[in-house]
Structures are given as C-alpha cells and as structure tokens.
Structure 1
Amino acid sequence: MALLKSMNSGVSGLNAFQKKMDVIGNNIANVETIGFKSSRVTFSQLMSKNEARSGAGSAAPQLTDQIGLGVRVGSVDRDFSQGALQSTGMNTDLAIEGDGFFVVNNNGQNFYSRAGNFAFNKDGFLVSGDGNMIQGFMADANGNVNTGTLEDLRVDFEGTVPPKRTEVVTVGGNLNSSTSTYRVLQSQSSLKVSGSSAQASSLLNDLDQTSAPFANGDALTLDIILPDGTAPVNPITFTYGVDGTTVEDMVNVYNAQLSPLDVSMSIVDGVISVRSTVMGETDLEVRGLDIVGAGSLNFPVFNTISEGSTGSHTISTTVFDTLGNQHSLIVRIIQEAEDSWTYEASFLDGETITSGKTGNIDFLNGDVVQSNFELTYESTNGTSNTITIALGDPQEGISFNQYGGTTTLKALSQDGYGQGKLIDVGISGDGMLEGVYDNGNTVPIAFLALADVQNVSGLEQVTGGLFKASSAAGEIITGFAGEMGSSVAAGFLESSNVDLAREFTEMITSQRAYQSNARVITTSDEMLVEAVNLKR
C-alpha cells in the first residue's frame, strides 16, 4: 500500500537524524578534548520510485512522476581546521600551528594525533597522556640528526657533554675614532651679556666681563702653551676693530692662527673650549689674555676637562682549552694613528702566548681591513691551543668598525665550553629538542617528527584521539615542522575546534526534523486507520 512508503520515509528520517544527533552529541562531549576535530553529517536522498505517466508521450514535460523514498546519511565528514591555542606554561605541552600530525607509537604501530599533551616518563622517553611513545629523529653526540628512521624520543637527563676547546672568538662593535685622545681645556665660567650666556654675535664691549670698553687697535694676545710644551713663535693676537668686534670674530682669528699649531678653539653658549688636535698626552695650557690698549676684559680661567691620551679599549672573554679548563683572555686595543691600532693579548693568570701576542689592526673608511688574527698559547697542562680572533662576521651581520660615536666593542661569542650537565630541555618552533647544560651550552638532542597526510579525511579514527593510516589516506610523509610549512608551539595545547553555537543550532534543527518525521509516521498511520474504517 502507498501509505507504507510514506511511513518508511518517515522512519528513514528518524534514523538519519538520530545519527546526526549522535554526531552532535559526540562533538559537544569533546568540546574540551585536546586536539579534537569535530564532525558533520550530510544526507542523501534514497532512490525514487518512478510512476508511469499517461497522456502526451514524448511531448510531456517529463516521462514519469518520481517520488522519493526517504533519506539516508550520505557521509560523516571530519573538520580538520585549526583549533585555538591555549597557553599552559609547560614546555612539553606542544601544539601544531598549521597542517600535520604528531606521530606516536603503540606496540610497534604508528598512529597520528593533534593532541600534544606530552611529558617525559621516568626513563626519559617523551610520551603522550596515554603513554604512547612520541616519534622523532635522534641526534648523535655531536648534535647531528639522523633523519633516516623514526625512533622513540628519549632524553638522558643524567647525560653530559664533553668539553670543547675554543677555536674562534668573535669580536664586534665600533671603535670610537675620536675616543678621548685629545687634551681639552674649557673656560671655568662662561662669557655673559646682561647675565645671559654670550652668543657668537655678541659684541666684546657688551660682555659683562668687559670692565673697560675696547678701542680700535687694542691688541688681545692669547697667553698659551702649545701641545709640544713651547710658546708660539708668533704671538696669537686679535686686534679690536681691525679683526672685528664680536666674540665670533675673536674666536675665528685665534683659530686661524692656532690651527697650524695643532690647536683649535670654539665657543658654545659663552663657554670657550681649547683642544689639542694631536693624539696622546700634551702640555696644552691657556694661561690668560694679555691686553695692550684702552680696554679691559676679565678673561676666564681654563680647566682641563679631558686629558690627552692615546685611545685604548680592553675586551675580555673566557676561553677553554682541550680539557675544558677556563682561561681569561684579555685583548687591549690601542690607537696609534687615525686609522691604525695595535693589539696586545694576555691572559689574566699568566698563560704563555707563544705567537700572535701583538699585531696591527687597520681601518679604511671606517671598515676594518683585516678579517682576523691568530694567537697561540700554552695552557697549564702543557697543551698548545690556537685561537682565531674574528674581527666581525659579515655572514652573521656582525660588524667591526671605526666611526665617531660610542665605543661598543666587545667579545660577542666564543665556540668553546667545559663539560656540562643537562639541566633543561627546550623545544623550538621547528620541533628541535635542545639540551640546555649548566655550562651555558645548548646541544640538539632530537627533532620531533610531524606527519603530512595526503588525504586527512581518509584517516581512520581510533580511541584516544588517534588516527591510523588507511588506503583512503594516501601517502603519509614524515619530516620536520619547518620543512612542512608548519611550526610547533611549546607551552601551548590545541583546543577542540567544536563550535558550540553551531552545534546547538544543529541540535535544534535536528530535533525539529526528527519531530516532523515522527509526525509523518503518525499521520500516515491515521490515514491507514481511515482506510481500514471504510469497510465498516
């Protein structure tokens, strides 16, 4: 009877929406499950029944009347979109940003998971919350990683690294080309006009220090001792009216006469500065001002604010010999000329430097000419050790320059270390497990493996949020996070990607659809009852 078909359609609807509710319930139940991927249900129509149509034949709009026979679940699809990352502060909690799966092993079989709640067990193996072994690529004693075979990741927390002698010390920064190498004198008080600092354009006769005005022809001779300790052969004289009448005129005239004698003069905000223009210690001294004429000026006393000295800078670092013993290396760099410096190397504890103790460092247009120098020393155990002092490292963006400005020169790194004991393990964005040792050194221990699945929808889900390979998944490639375009975030976990608002909406529509299909069944039943009653 035809009414039975409508009842069957209603029953198929009940079955289909019951299965959809099963999926919705599973999604909601796993809203807090780490790495969980939600699912959705799609429906497809069951085969229709064709009813013959009489009449117009091929001229009719359709040859048959088609009546559907209900619905069935077409597919249950998994949503592999990225879940939000939540911070945990535990460095063994890991989350994948991007595509890929962690590889875990259970009794010799590999599974795949997005849940990264890992920890080290008592034997040093990195395991999942269910105790499955996390897979990766182990490194050898020198930090070289074997990418050939997946292994259980293990850290030897009692392990040590052997010492390594220092081979290269990298030095970088700037040597101040004008580092305190000149003697500078400065007036103890400033020239003033009406109590305010005099400017370059201020008239000499307007100065507060001028007690009697100058007249044209008055001679103001500077009493000065030159850097070499002698007095000028020709007096350093400014003639008022002839050479000018302002403070700037006086300074400019003095400068013109002093420049050939390795001395310069300047004035800023009424303060006069006189400096030697040759490096090293000098006898430069300003004793006063001798005036011949009508005028009178209370010329200020000059103090030494910077003693002339040859520029020198000292850098120090700790280096290691073949047995891991520490030695304090000191390198003193001394300026000999504008673009020429020398270095002197020594050790704080007196180790003997057999070669390379001294040498030259030259600059051209501010850039160092030499790339490095070498020194060889004998350690206390009698072994000979050679160290290369690298003056900058262009490949690493480290420069070694001589420009005007602050001296920033320092030893930036050295590649040696003593024996170290493991104190911590860090995990980088590319999945590398690095051992952190108490000697300050970090050594690669292993790389976490990630799996790239050709068709993630083809993976078969098993208990514990794990997936296993199937023929539908296609090719599965394992490698590092970085080479797969993904990254690993340590101290984070990937949350479930279940959208509760969407699930509740789907629940409401499923409930109404289920009720409607149930109403189809009851209505069809009532119609059958009416048909039966026709016989009465």
Structure 2
Amino acid sequence: MSLIKSLNSGVSGLKSFQTKMDAIGNNISNVDTTGFKSSRVTFSELMNENIGGSGGGESAPSLSNQVGLGVRVASVDRDFSQGTIENTGKTTDLAIEGDGYFVVNNGSQDLMTRAGNFTFNKDGNLVDQTGNYVQGYNANDSGNILGGGATDNVQVDFENVLEPQRTSEVNVGGNLNSNTSTAQIVQAQSSFTDSSGNIASSTTQLNDLSQTNTNFDGSETITVNYVDGDGNAQTADYNLTGANDTLGDVVSGLNGSIAEGELTLVDGMLKLKSDSLGDSELDVDSITISGGTGDMNTPGFQVTQEGETGTKTMSTTVYDDLGQEHSLLVDFTQSGPNEWDYEATFANGEEITGGAATGTVTFDEMGQIDSGDTFDIEFNPGNGASTSNFEVNLGGAGGTDFTQYSGANTAKVLNQNGYTQGSLVDVRIDGDGRVQGVYDNGQNQNLAQLALGDVQNEDGLEMVGGGLFRATSAAGEVFVDTADNVANSSIQSGSLEGSNVDLAQEFTEMITSQRAYQSSARVISTSDEMLTEAVNLKR
C-alpha cells in the first residue's frame, strides 16, 4: 500500500542524513589535522512514481502525477581550498601556497599530499610521518639540478664535504681619492700691493708696486734661486722687455725658464707648485734683481704643502687548489694626476711567478678608468699545491665601478670566488623547494629540489588515509615538476598548512542535519500510526 512508500522515504532520509553527519563528524574531528581538506555531502531525490494522469487533453497543465520515493546521497565532495598557513620554525615543515601537492612514494606508488610535516630519517632521506619518501630531483656534485624528468627520493648526505675551490677571480671596486698624493707647494710669505695699498694683480706694472724702491728701466734681469725636487740648486731668469712690464709678464717669463713646477700669482702672492706628486725638496731661496736701475723688496718663501705619496692598500684571502688560504695585498699608489701604480704581494712571502703583479692604472678627466681594467697574477703556493693564477677585475662586479674622484678612499676588494673545504652544518629550503646545504666555510650549495604534483581534476583524487591522495582515472593527467615550474605555487619553509574546516559552517550543518533526521523519523512514526489505523479497520 502507499504508506510503505512514505516509510521508505523516511528511511532514505535517515540513511542519507546519517551519512551527512558522518561527514560533519569527520570534518570536526580533523579540524587540527595538517593539510586536511573538508568534505561535504550532496543529495538527490530517488526516482518518482507516476500515479496517473492529471487531466485529459493537451490543455491540461500536467499530463501526469508523480510522487517521489525518497532521497539518496549523490556525492561526497572535498573542498580543496587553501588552509591557513601556520609558522612552526622547523626547517623541514613545508607548506604550499597556491596549487599543487607534495609527491611521496610508499615503496610501490607515488601519492600526493598537502601535509608537509616532513623530517630526515637516519639515512638522510626526507620522509613524512609514516615513512613515505618525499620525491624530488637530487643535485649532482656541482650543485646542478635537472628537473622535469623522473623523480627520486630526496636525500641529503649529512657527512658531505664541499670540495675546496681555487680562486680564479678577484673583484675590486670603489673610489680612489684623487688627492691621496700631494704636490709640494712653496708660497711667498707676503703679497705684492700697488701704490694705493691694494692687492696687486697680474696687470699691475712693476713700477706701480709699493714694494718697488727704484723704478725699473727695462734692462733688468729678475732671477729666482730655488731648489728642485731632487735637492739640486737651480735658477730661473726673466729679462724685462721694458719699463712697463707687469707682474703677469714676470710670472709668464719665469715659467718659461723654470725647470720644475709652475709659478702662479694668487692674491698677490707668488706660488710655486711641483709638477709631480709625492716627496719633494722643492723650495725657493730668494729672488734677486740685477742690471738696470730698478730695485724692489722681494718676499721670502715657505713650504705651505708638503709633497707626500699616498697609498691605498687592499687585502683579501685567496685560495689554491688544496683550499689553503693566502693573504693577498694590493697597494695602489698615486704617482701622478689621474695615474696610480699598483703592486701585488703576499703577506707570507709567496713567490709571484707570472702575470702583472706591478703596473699602472690611469683615469680620464671624468674619474673613469681608461686603462686596462684587469690584470693577472700567478703565484707558487709553496705547500704542495700546483701553481695558481687568478684575474683581478677593477670594477664591474655587482654594479660597483672603480673610480677616481675627489672623495673618500672607499676602494676595496669586493669579493673573490675561492673557498676552503667545507662541512655541512645546516640545511634550508627556499620558496622553489630547493634544498640548500649550508657549509662552515660560508658557502651554500643546492643538494636537491622538491617535486610538486598537480592534476587536471582535483575531485578525481581518492583519499587513501593519512592525508594522502591517489590519482584515479577521473583526475586526468598528473603533472610533476619543480615548484618554480608550477604556476601560482611557492613553498614556505618553517610552516604548515592547517585544516580548511570551518567550524561555524560545520555546526550550522549539524543543526540542519539533526532537524532533518528528526523529521524523517517523524515520517516513519506517523506512517506507522496510519498503518495501525488501517489494520484496525477489520475490527
């Protein structure tokens, strides 16, 4: 009888909402499970029974009357949305931000998971909490990784020793102060003045100077008695051309005769500056006047700037084939305007056997290097290693130029590419999943790179327990590659992806499921009472 249908409908409701409660209970119990993806239950009605036509003719609003036979579970779907990423501080705790899955192997097949709570086992294999091997691409001895092919168990040899590397390149950059070396300057102790007491200029005639005692008639000779830079006594003469000669004429004439330096008139004072930089004995003893009738009081002279040679010393450590350290010193000495001599030596006396350990570097008027910007050094390490050679690059490393401006001496060795033997002291993982070894010699080297997997249809993944998924035929093609080749994905080390369960949503669904279950039970009890009334009709 028809009451059986309502009983069956009530039973289907009980069974369906019991399944929904199972899913809700599972979600809530896994609210703190790493990488857990919540599930939901969707329903569909069972087939309908046609109980007869509703009317006759094509004008009837409905040609049949149908009654449903209950409800069934249509699907149990998983929500693959991103879970909250939580910091843990443990290097091997990994979280994927974006798409993709970690790939692990249980010994017989590859599985995928979002739970990245990994660790290294006693053999150096990166494994999950159940011992499944995390898959990736191991680097070769040079630290090169070839991804995209067949994956392997990610493994780190914690006894690994990084071989030493000989220095082949040294990079120098920064600024050499253009005033590092100075020229000797000798200056008069007093200024020439005119008859009005004003500072004399180059156009002031000798006969207009207040220092002139007797006017010049133009037949006089003015002689500067001086000592050159090497300490030799020298003289420079100027023969007047007439009684109207000026101070400028005298300075110009003496410069044509003087063997070293340049004579100038600055604020009425005579100044002699050496042509060369560095230590000098340049000095002016006196100025004398001979011939003619002219006579004047000439000033005494003093050294106002000592000539000094300035050197900028740079140092670094270079390495031979055995990884032995050698202390390299390079001295840059300013030998002239825009000109620097360099000399390379070793602090412990290693023999330089070739290359260009000495030379000259020149700069243009804009302070830019215009000579060769590299030189080679070859030396004998003297400890059983073979002869080593390296190239010194002046500027161009990391965007730092080698210049000569009037500023601080900032030139230094920026870097060199050699290192000694190193022992593995730590491991870190970057955003592309590269497992990098950190060595006690300050070097880092790639050891492996984690693989990420992705599928065309995530709903086709089958849950096999432990936060692991297996790709079924419904998932489509499985793509496995490195994280940097998986779009919109990156790996965060020291973090874990939490469950994406929304407790507020689950409690709401629980309430509605409970009421629906109660209502289905009420349908059954009501149908039973109606059947009882029908049975009692025979009485």
Please indicate the TM-score interval, normalised by the length of the shorter structure: 0.7 to 0.9
Output the CA distance in 2 between the equivalents of 1:475 and 1:53: 50
Output the CA distance in 2 between the equivalents of 1:528 and 1:326: 100
Output the CA distance in 2 between the equivalents of 1:182 and 1:58: 118
What's the offset of the Cα at 1:173?
3.1
Matched, 1:511 2:514: yes
Superimposed CA distance per residue, residues 87-126 of structure 1 (whole angstroms, 9 cap, x where no aligned partner):
1111111111211111111123211111111111122121
What's the offset of the Cα at 1:392?
3.3
Alignment correspondent of 1:160: 161
Alignment correspondent of 2:523: 520
Superimposed CA distance per residue, residues 226-272 of structure 1 (whole angstroms, 9 cap, x where no aligned partner):
99999xx9989xxxxxxxxxxxxxxxxx966679966xxxxxxxxxx
TM score, norm. by length of structure 2: 0.75
Contact 2:102/2:112 (8 A) holds in 1: yes
SS at match of 1:145: coil
Amino acid at match of 2:450: L
Q: 1:310 to 1:494 in 2, by over 3 A?
A: farther
Contact 1:227/1:282 (8 A) holds in 2: no
Alignment correspondent of 1:448: 450
Amino acid at match of 2:159: E
Quick one: which of 493, 497, 512 aligns to 1:494?
A: 497
Map of 1:38-437 to 2, 5 A cutoff? Answer: 38-147=38-147, 148-177=149-178, 217-219=196-198, 280=278, 309-310=308-309, 312-354=311-353, 355-364=355-364, 365-369=366-370, 370-380=372-382, 381=384, 383-393=386-396, 396-437=398-439
Output the CA distance in 2 between the equivalents of 1:481 and 1:181: 59
Output the CA distance in 2 between the equivalents of 1:158 and 1:527: 81
Alignment correspondent of 1:531: 534
Q: 1:351 to 1:8 in 2, by over 3 A?
A: same
What's the offset of the Cα at 1:278?
8.7
Output the CA distance in 1 between the equivalents of 2:106 and 2:339: 67
Q: 1:454 to 1:376 in 2, by over 3 A?
A: same
What's the offset of the Cα at 1:384?
1.6
What's the offset of the Cα at 1:403?
4.2
Superimposed CA distance per residue, residues 335-366 of structure 1 (whole angstroms, 9 cap, x where no aligned partner):
34554433221111111222210223344544
What's the offset of the Cα at 1:387?
0.4
Amino acid at match of 2:374: N
Q: 1:102 to 1:56 in 2, by over 3 A?
A: same
Amino acid at match of 2:107: N
Structure 2 unaligned segments of length 5 or more: list them: 186-194, 202-225, 239-245, 249-264, 284-301
Amino acid at match of 1:385: S
Superimposed CA distance per residue, residues 191-244 of structure 1 (whole angstroms, 9 cap, x where no aligned partner):
xxxxxxxxxxxxxxxxxxxxxxxxx9444689xxx99999xx9989xxxxxxxx
SS at match of 2:423: strand
Q: 1:382 to 1:24 in 2, by over 3 A?
A: closer
SS at match of 1:58: coil
TM score, norm. by length of structure 1: 0.76
Superimposed CA distance per residue, residues 16-59 of structure 1 (whole angstroms, 9 cap, x where no aligned partner):
11111111111111111111111112222222223332434212
Output the CA distance in 1 between the equivalents of 2:64 and 2:418: 88
SS at match of 2:130: coil
Q: Which has the larger radius of gyration?
A: 2
**Relative to structure 2, which stretch is displaced further, 42-51 or 20-29?**
42-51
SS at match of 1:155: coil
What's the offset of the Cα at 1:280?
4.8
Amino acid at match of 1:171: V
Output the CA distance in 1 between the equivalents of 2:65 and 2:270: 113
Aligned pairs, how many?
Answer: 460
Alignment correspondent of 2:191: none
SS at match of 1:57: coil
What's the offset of the Cα at 1:180?
7.5
Contact 2:54/2:62 (8 A) holds in 1: no
Q: 1:500 to 1:55 in 2, by over 3 A?
A: closer
Contact 1:92/1:490 (8 A) holds in 2: yes
Contact 2:24/2:509 (8 A) holds in 1: yes
What's the offset of the Cα at 1:327?
0.4
Alignment correspondent of 1:459: 461
Output the CA distance in 2 between the equivalents of 1:140 and 1:28: 46
Superimposed CA distance per residue, residues 399-448 of structure 1 (whole angstroms, 9 cap, x where no aligned partner):
43444544433222222122222111121211111122222222221111
Q: 1:335 to 1:134 in 2, by over 3 A?
A: same
What's the offset of the Cα at 1:465?
0.9
Percent of matched pairs sharing the same residue: 54
